[in-house]
Structure 1
Amino acid sequence: MNLKAASVIAFTMGSTIAGFGAVDAVIAGPEQIGCYGDNWGPTLGMLEPTPAGPMTFKTLRCTPIPEGWPRMVPPALSPNGEFVYAFGSWKGLWLGDVTRGGRAHTVNEKLSGDFFTLTAPFTWLDDSSSVIGVKRETTVAGSVSYSSLRPYLFSVDGSQTKLPELAHLGGSLDEIYWIDGSGLALAGFGMYERDDEKADQHAPILAFVDAHTGAILQAVEKASVPGLADQRSLEAVKSKIDPSGKAHVLMKWEPSKWLLWVQGQSPQVVPLPSAARWSPFVLSSDASGVLIMGNLSARGWVCELPDRCPPPTPQSGMIAEFRELSTGLAQWTIFGTASYFSRSLHPAVSPDGRWGLISLPDEQGAALALISMTSGKVIQKIRQPG
């Protein structure tokens, strides 16, 4: 993707990857790459932002991911725009060139992913050479066998490189959340009780780690963080590298707490309110705030035969809001009504912090909306492709 404007937002829809850029950076209509055949017509026809300006599509790239490949976790384009991967927990990991007929390889193994948060523990390295991720390896503790995560590099040529084991006395590596493509990550050790563990020995550990070297850079026991001991499980994690190079990690804990950990500092519970379960969120470009989605949806019965169910009951409420991390105060909130069953998609924020991209239920059906990160005003909308 040739994205030169500072306000560009790149995002994925099924197996279409789009670059959203400022109008003044666009000379002609959006460049279409690999979008041939009748199947793409209806999808591309929906991608016309209204009203016209200030943004439009610079590129529409129809990727060669095989038909029938799972779309629950969006495919990811490499930083250099030449490769793409797609994840399916029961099918494995597909990696290939963005051009049809190019190199492609499938890792035919069951790999870890989270259906509820629509995320998977994989990301492209900054140099686009490989995807860094994890596989489960069977280890033995006493007489009980269980699966532990082990970092790997997955390359487009089909090769796999086992990285150093990430180990901690607090337990096995159970969860990992990558921070950009440098190999830095937030890791969770001993996060789940096993049958061979006594309750008083279960002490989950959170740590900043370097997967390339196997080093644990900073670690803390979950129970030692004030306000976190009574939280049951880690629901979601988002991170951002600030201009000084420090990692900021925001964690949503079930049932009600938010934890902010800045690399080199102690983790702190921040005063953000409880959010709907599995609500997507993303840090602002400077890591000072968080854009939270509301998962607004109509209510009612879901039937295999729609004509046997009453229509869903519309619900009104928060669609999205932006809150300051230090105070928890809302800077703005977008309210609306959902007349159909819906779920918020993962939002995005442009690198310069001016724009946001969110999913939006409206009277015409599911939409994607370009918003001002200063005011929350909806600037443009496009129909959400199927």
Structure 2
Amino acid sequence: MNLKAASVIAVTIGSAIAAFGAVDGVIAAPEQIGCYGDNWGPTLAMLEPTPAGPMKLKTLRCTPIPEGWPRMVPPALSPNGELVYAFGSWKGLWLGDVTRGGRAHTVNEKLPGDLFTLTAPFTWLDDSSSVIGVKRETTVAGSVSYSSLRPYLFRVDGSQAKLPELTHPGGALDELYWIDGSGLALAGFGMYERDDEKEDEHKQTLAFVDANTGAILQAVEKANVPGLADQRSLEAVKSKIDPSGRAHVLVKWGPSKWLLWVQGQSPKIVPLPQTAQWSPFVLSSDASSVLMMGNLSATGWVCELSDRCPQPIPQSGMIAEFRDLPTGLVKWTISGTASYFSRSLHPAVSPDGRWGLISLPDEQGAALALISMTSGKVIQKVRQPGWGPIGLSFSADNKSAFVTGGTIVATYAVAE
């Protein structure tokens, strides 16, 4: 690199950091792994948390995920941090080592996913040995398939293992939401009507299931849950296994109800407020509360001719709030103003319940923030990178935080 280029990058980095807030002390340069070229300075600058605090940028890793891979959902790191998968729906599933030149395999099949919620029924097992997910047993070329789902294991060596079939008299297996990486899941049977199905055979049923054994652990018909019969569609599910080993699931139903179901108990409607459509949420580490995002965004016209478009109309309101379950009472709220068009990312909560990672709008555009889960205080911020869909997560030992997107993983060390 010549002196002129080096000085330009130095000025760019300095300007970006100064614009985002003063940095206390000298910041050690993060390690770049597999990221070639000398143009990463601005990226490193925007990813540096400000002000100085518990979270510090440690590494920027460029994974071997193919550059042209679809970016419907963020790439997902394995619990041990050594593997990653990328989901492409119509293209399949890519699995491999995070290091270039390591193992890699592509499942070249059309796999189920939800474009609207940017989610897919796949997750790493707790031991990082495989990705557990689903396939449809049969498909009809050129049309939407409503065949039953079947749990599968997808291994990095390219092999697949068909897990026991999950069946229930209520109907075919239409929905499956994994509960951590345990093999437990919330299943939805008979959620869609089929032309060849008799009326008395179609009974929408929710169930806790164990995909490892094919066992139905607990089931309930939707029509028998008080207050749920008039809800039309299941919009989103988040789950957590509490310290005692019980599964908790929170289900958002359209148009207006929230269902809380604790394994071994009866499901019940909880008094949570209506949120903007597709607003993300996540359960706290002990499953006693829910962190809800507001999808706060400016309003106005979105058009391709940017020089002729009217400026977005800023909107103020709730960015994120933390509510108790099952009372729905607010513990804290983060409010602000969105001057740009935006959409909330799926938040993350550290396993020890101390920290949260959220997206939020600010005066410069989209940002990511480390927050205190006790008070809701914003501790540090970084600029949100333009890597496509972004994933936020913490390591199992609470010592690392991750921002993933496209083919890149930014790792942050989090002080105790």
Normalization by structure 1: what TM-score? Answer: 0.88
Residues 105-158 of structure 1 deviation map (CA, whole Å, 9 limit, x = unaligned): 111111111112111100011111110000112289xxxx84211111111111
Q: Distance in 2 between matches of 1:129 and 1:55?
A: 29
**Alignment correspondent of 1:15:** none
**Alignment correspondent of 2:194:** 194
**Alignment correspondent of 1:336:** 336
1:38–1:199 CA distance, 2 compared to 1 (3 A): farther
- What is the deviation of 1:199? 5.2
Give the AA of the match of 1:48. Answer: E
**Alignment correspondent of 1:84:** 84
**Does 2:237 align with 1:237?**
yes
1:151-230 equivalences under 5 Å are 151-197=151-197, 201-230=201-230
**Alignment correspondent of 1:276:** 276
Q: Distance in 2 between matches of 1:290 and 1:39?
A: 40
**Alignment correspondent of 1:258:** 258
**Alignment correspondent of 2:68:** 68
Q: Distance in 1 between matches of 2:87 and 2:119?
A: 9
- What is the deviation of 1:270? 0.9
Give the AA of the match of 1:299. Answer: T
- What is the deviation of 1:203? 1.6
Residues 279-335 of structure 1 deviation map (CA, whole Å, 9 limit, x = unaligned): 000001111110000001111111122123211111111110000112111111111
Conserved? CA contact 1:166–1:173, under 8 Å? yes
Conserved? CA contact 2:170–2:201, under 8 Å? no
Conserved? CA contact 1:139–1:148, under 8 Å? no
Q: Which has the higher strand share?
A: 1
- What is the deviation of 1:82? 1.4
- What is the deviation of 1:264? 0.9
**Does 2:125 align with 1:125?**
yes
1:95–1:39 CA distance, 2 compared to 1 (3 A): farther
Conserved? CA contact 2:260–2:326, under 8 Å? no
**Alignment correspondent of 1:37:** 37
1:132–1:39 CA distance, 2 compared to 1 (3 A): farther
**Alignment correspondent of 2:292:** 292
Secondary structure at the counterpart of residue 46 of structure 1: helix
Q: Distance in 1 between matches of 2:327 and 2:205?
A: 27
Identify which of structures 1 and 2 has the higher relative contact order when contacts are C-alpha pairs closer than 8 Å and 6+ apart: 2
Residues 62-120 of structure 1 deviation map (CA, whole Å, 9 limit, x = unaligned): 22111121223111111122110000112110001111111111111111111121111
Q: Distance in 1 between matches of 2:193 and 2:37?
A: 51
1:332–1:306 CA distance, 2 compared to 1 (3 A): same
Aligned residues: 356
Residues 349-382 of structure 1 deviation map (CA, whole Å, 9 limit, x = unaligned): 1111111111011111100011111111111100
Give the AA of the match of 1:253. Answer: W
Give the AA of the match of 1:65. Answer: I
Q: Distance in 1 between matches of 2:57 and 2:209?
A: 37
**Alignment correspondent of 1:138:** 138
Q: Distance in 2 between matches of 1:369 and 1:335?
A: 13
Give the AA of the match of 2:179. Answer: I
Q: Distance in 2 between matches of 1:256 and 1:117?
A: 17
Give the AA of the match of 2:99. Answer: T
**Alignment correspondent of 2:400:** none
Q: Distance in 2 between matches of 1:135 and 1:336?
A: 42
Conserved? CA contact 2:138–2:147, under 8 Å? yes
Residues 234-283 of structure 1 deviation map (CA, whole Å, 9 limit, x = unaligned): 11111111111111111111111111111111111111111111000000
Secondary structure at the counterpart of residue 47 of structure 2: coil
User: Over aligned residue pairs, what C-alpha RMSD do you find?
Assistant: 1.8
Q: Distance in 1 between matches of 2:267 and 2:293?
A: 24
Conserved? CA contact 1:126–1:181, under 8 Å? yes
Give the AA of the match of 1:353. Answer: G
The answer for unaligned runs of 5 or more in structure 1 is 1-26
1:315-330 equivalences under 5 Å are 315-330=315-330
Secondary structure at the counterpart of residue 138 of structure 1: coil
Q: Distance in 1 between matches of 2:202 and 2:363?
A: 49
The answer for unaligned runs of 5 or more in structure 2 is 1-26, 387-416
Q: Distance in 1 between matches of 2:330 and 2:103?
A: 47
Give the AA of the match of 1:117. Answer: T
Conserved? CA contact 2:164–2:214, under 8 Å? yes
Higher deviation after alignment, 131-140 or 362-371 = 131-140
Give the AA of the match of 2:172. Answer: S
- What is the deviation of 1:205? 0.5
Normalization by structure 2: what TM-score? Answer: 0.82
**Alignment correspondent of 2:4:** none
Give the AA of the match of 2:111. Answer: L
**Alignment correspondent of 1:355:** 355
